[in-house]
Amino acid sequence: MTEFPHARRSAFQVLTGLFSLPPGARVGIGPVIAAAILVIIVLASVMAPLYVPYDPLAMNAMARLKPPSEEFLLGTDPYGRDTFSRVMTGGRVSLLIGVGAALVSVTVGLFIGLVAGFFRAADSVIMRIMDSLMAIPAILLAIALVALNGPSLGSVIIAITVPEIPRVVRLVRSVVLSAREEPYVEAAIALGSSMPKILIQHLMPNTLAPLIVQGTYICASAILIEAILSFLGAGVSTEIPTWGNIMAEGRTYFQIKPGLIFWPGLLLSLCILAINLLGDTARDLLDPRMKKREG
Amino acid sequence: MEFKSKDFSNAPRVLKIRKLKVGLTGRPNAAPVLDGIDLDIRAGETHCLVGESGSGKSVTSLAAMGLLPKGALEVQGGLIDLEGFEITSASPSQMRELRARRIAMIFQEPMTALNPVIRVGEQILEVLNTHSDLSPSEAKKLTLDMMEQVHLPDVERIYSAFPHQLSGGQRQRIMIAMALILDPDLLIADEPTTALDVTTQLQILKLIAEMQERHGTAVLFITHDMGVVAEIADTVSVMQKGRIVERAPIRELLTDPKEAYTRKLLTAVPNLAPRPARGDVAEKDVVTVQGLDMAYGGGGFFRKSDRVKAARDVNFSIPPGRTLGIVGESGSGKSTVARCIMRLIDPTAGKITVAGTEIARLSRRQLQPHRKHLQIVFQDPYRSLNPRWTVARSLCEGPINFGTSRDEAMTKAAELMELVDLPRDALDRYPHQFSGGQRQRIAIARAVAMKPDLLVADEAVSALDVSVQAQVLDLLDDIQEKFGVAMLFITHDLRVAAQICDDVLVMQKGFVVEHGPAGQVLSTPRHDYTRNLINAAPGRNWDFSNYRALDHAPAPKGAIA
């Protein structure tokens, strides 16, 4: 039989295709710096256990509130724990929560959104549920979950994800609503394609680009909300250092040891700034008006 | 038929274009978009620019308006002289002063050319306020007067209407009023009637001619429709790939075209003479529609909306190998009928029998095995193929749904490409790599892959250039002959219907007003509406492909022109 090498593109090709630069479009220096900063922070956080000099939880009564020195790079906190070790390790949980919340809300939101957009009967019911979910503030939900289950990573991710899901659902639904009116979707119906097939093969690829952009924003805001929750004491248990709870603990000593808030705060801000910048760049690149037709 | 034959050689020259060259900005070596255009338009003359899409008609008009898209196109040589004023070197502020006063333009789509949130009267008024120092009351009086001139009814009411409250024809009248209120010397009309129904088109063409007579305006009229050209042109310039290949007075061009390209264009123009009748078929009808009703609206969770009856009591049947045309203006319900039969929407009442099965009441699931009996080709070839899919994948989708193996479907797809006259290697490519006509061929191949008993063509050739249109109609004819498929052909263009249909069904506001053999309906129509449609068909008395008047021109008696 005849070979059709390009008849199906792999998911990888689809993804690289999405990000291939259209001819003429230029990415400024900003996004490149942002990407570099993000890569450094992520690598540094992930590999933290390999290089940090102290156990981030090990208390040392002899070394309370030390200033930065060769021994303690960024000084120590009131319990004598090494700030540098804690901040670098804390990034792991913060980033995990960011990425986790983004993935969960995008996946769940994509599924619900596809169904809501395509099936009119389901739409009105689903959207009313989404409206009510939107009314729940993340912080109240987190406090409730922590009160019920105790502080855990899972509770925090759920608390952050739930209010994000309706936003993703609305986005996906609006894309599907306009795409389903396209004649090629009607042609697929006429060709006898089943509903799941139409949803996944014809409609879902249209939602991919806006979802990637939305995902980066969710990731950034999740990291921020985690910090707020920890600050309020409704976040991850204090035994696991995160940027949020390091700052929460540091606030009582803010005046004598500003570094306790400054360093985790700096990393947090850089991280969020970088992610948002990359999200904006992705939005510009994926905008069909900016993207020349491939081929 | 009557052509315009006035001599303009003594009239003052309004627009003079010499050796105009327009190219892509920043790429002086790329092929120019316009290459050495010469054009003269004299006061009172209607000069038509015709050509297929991409020939440079619109770019010519934009260059004359000084409206070439910045950063994309630029004048690279030549001159455009508007009554002694050089446009190519004018500053933006000089151009602003010139527009509306000396040169004005109307566009194809009046809905997008008007601001949707400002009352139409105020939009006309704004032109006056920008370009003259009339007092408010004088300006308003002049505006209302102009609206009277373009024959808008009840001008006081329409003055304070928003664009969406008006019909397409009324909106185009507003555009014309706006363009002509400062009495410009040159009016550029870029496909001003293409988006309108034929009867409205006729009125607008008459209006432009009347305004031209009254104000002595020169008109540069851009169109792809030879019928329209025959109705209104004094002089015609035929454009191809950025050049003017032939220019002649209208009668000369239509009776004695010199250039091969002009001949090719004219040969492709469909005329109103119906195709020769084909013999009766003894076989059973493929599709039978009885008492089909479709009403939109009426649902809603919280409030009941009014139901709009889009189709009422439609009855017809089509035997294998025959074509039924449904014609009518926009909103007549013709597409609704097509979509009901395809079960893309669910009819409110009636029976649809396809290949022996009644499908009007089947659920989605029950319907699935019967889908292969009916296939549809849509109007817009740019949207009817999934842009992310290769042609091969699109062609295989249907057969695979009905249990064909992937390999077998691929082999079949390669055969189909030959059938629709496209190269085999086209299978690996994506839709955007093809022209509109080629895409429509792919869409037809996709439908034919299912070996349907009924092929529905919903305005399938309306978006194509005439020469491509003729090829696609031929292809459909071939396919019908080869597979004996019954065809339901939806079109707003009576000329196209005449070319391809055995029977014609005329719809108006959801009602079937006439139904019969094509020859009978087109030559001896019984209903006033059909007569109006025929009379409004531009160039209906001219046989373009044979360069002469039609022998038995369909001139229905008692016609209301």
Q: What is the mean pLDDT of chain B?
A: 89
Residue B296 inside a domain? The answer is yes
Count of CB pairs separated by less than 8 Å, A with B: 84
In DSSP terms, which residues pair with B238 in a beta bridge?
A: B50, B246
Q: Flag whether B410 is in a domain.
A: no
CATH code of the domain containing B458: 3.40.50.300
Whether residues A184 and B386 touch (CB distance < 8 A) is answered with: yes
The structural domains of chain A, with segments of one domain joined by +, span 37-47+82-286
Residue B350 falls inside a structural domain: yes
B388/A190 touch (CB, cutoff 8 Å), yes or no: no
The SS3 assignment for A181 reads coil
Identify any residues that bridge with B17 across adjacent strands, giving them in sequence order: B39, B80
User: Quick one: pLDDT at residue B485?
Assistant: 93
* Rounded distance between C-alpha atoms, residue B89 and residue B95, angstroms: 10
Per DSSP bridges, beta strands B486-491 and B503-508 are: unpaired
Q: List beta partners, residue B73.
A: B24
Q: What is the DSSP letter of A202?
A: I
Residue of B388, B398, B429 lying closest to A205 (CB–CB): B388
Six-digit token pair at B233?
Answer: 């042109």
Confidence of residue A255 (pLDDT cuts 50, 70, 90): confident
pLDDT digits (tens, 9 = 90+) for B13-25: 999 999 999 988 8
The domain A37-47+82-286: what is its CATH number?
1.10.3720.10
> CB under 8 Å to B399, separation ≥6 — which residues?
B408, B409, B412, B449, B450
Indicate which of B397, B430, B439 best probes the interface with A, i.e. most A CBs within 10 Å of its own CB: B397
pLDDT bin (cut points 50, 70, 90) of residue A152 is: confident
Confidence of residue A67 (pLDDT cuts 50, 70, 90): confident
pLDDT band at B290 (very low <50, low <70, confident <90, very high): very high
Res. A250 pLDDT band, cuts 50 70 90: confident
More reliable by pLDDT, B256 or A22: B256
Q: For residue B304, is it within any domain?
A: yes
Contacts of B390 in chain A (CB under 8 A): 4, 6-7
Q: What is the pLDDT of residues B510-523, one digit of tens each?
A: 999 999 999 899 88
Chain A hits for B363, CB-CB cut-off 8 Å, are none
Angle, CA B184 vertex, CA B23 and CA B114 arms, to 5°? 75
Are A202 and B394 in contact, with CB atoms under 8 Å apart? no
One-letter amino acid of B468: V
Cβ A191–B378 below 8 Å, yes or no?
no
pLDDT tens sequence across B384-403: 999 889 999 999 999 999 99
Q: Residue B295 in contact with residue B310, Cβ under 8 Å?
A: yes
Cβ distance B411 to A1 less than 8 Å, yes or no, reads: yes
pLDDT digits over A162-210, tens only? 889 999 999 999 999 999 889 999 999 999 999 899 999 999 988 988 8
Confidence of residue A127 (pLDDT cuts 50, 70, 90): very high
How far apart CA B114 and CA B171 sit, in angstroms, is 8
Q: Does A17 touch chain B (CB under 8 A)?
A: no
Range of the domain at B514: 287-382+452-523
Token pair belonging to B98 = 């010139």
Enumerate residues 6+ apart whose C-beta is below 8 A from B492.
B197, B198, B327, B328, B329, B330, B334, B459, B462
**Does residue B108 carry a pLDDT above 60?**
yes
Q: Is residue B365 a part of any domain in this protein? A: yes
CB within 8 Å: A193 and B397 = yes
Residue A126 has pLDDT above 80, yes or no: yes
Q: Is B305 exposed, middle or buried (0-12, 13-18, 19+ CB in 10 A)?
A: exposed
In a domain, B505, yes or no: yes
CA closest to B344 among chain A residues: A186
Angle between the N-to-C axes of helices A259-286 and A11-19, in degrees from 0 to 180, rounded to the nearest 10: 100
Per the listing, tokens 């919903």 go with: B458
pLDDT at B275 over 70: yes
Q: Of the candidates B414, B428, B450, which has its C-beta nearest A191's C-beta?
A: B450
Average pLDDT of the residues in A235-242: 83
Quote the minimal CA–CA distance from A129 to chain B in Å: 16
Number of compact structural domains in chain B: 1
CB of A37 within 8 A of CB of A27? no
Q: How far apart are the first and last CA of chain A?
A: 25
**Which one has a higher pLDDT value, B260 or B558?**
B260
B335-344 average pLDDT score = 92
Q: Assess if residue B360 is contained within a domain.
A: yes
Q: What tens digit of pLDDT does each residue of B72-90 get?
A: 888 988 999 988 889 888 8
Q: Do B383 and A194 touch (CB under 8 A)?
A: no
pLDDT at B316 over 90: yes
Per DSSP, the residues of B142-193 read: HHHHHHHHTT-SSHHHHHT--GGGS-HHHHHHHHHHHHHTT--SEEEEESTT
Which range has the worst mean pLDDT, A106-120, B90-104, B363-377?
B90-104
Are the beta carbons of A186 and B430 separated by less than 8 Å? Answer: no
CA–CA min distance A7, chain B (Å)? 6
Q: pLDDT band for position B300 (50/70/90)? A: low
The closest alpha carbon to B502, from B242, B317, B259, belongs to B317
**Structure-block tokens of residue B483:** 């597979």
List phi, psi (to 5°) of B103: -145, 130
B372·A6 Cβ contact <8 A:
no
Q: B302: distance to nearest CA of chain A, Å? A: 12
B349 within some domain: yes
- Alpha-carbon gap, residue A281 to A192, rounded angstroms: 39
Q: How many Cβ atoms sit within 10 Å of the Cβ of residue B197?
A: 20
Helices assigned H by DSSP within A20-82: 29-46, 48-51
Query: Residue A12 pLDDT > 50, yes or no?
Result: yes
Q: Which of A181, A184, A199 to mutate to test the interface with B (most CBs of B within 10 A)?
A: A184
Give Cβ neighbours of residue B172 (< 8 Å, ≥ 6 apart): B106, B110, B192, B193, B196, B200, B204
Helix (H) or strand (E) holding B454: strand B454-458
* Mean pLDDT calculated for residue range B452-474: 91
Closest CB to A8: pick one of B375, B393, B414.
B393
Q: What's this model's pTM, rounded to 2 decimal places?
A: 0.82
Contact flag A191-B342 (C-beta cutoff 8 Å):
no
pLDDT at A2 over 50: no
Report the chain A residue with the minimal C-alpha distance to residue B447: A191
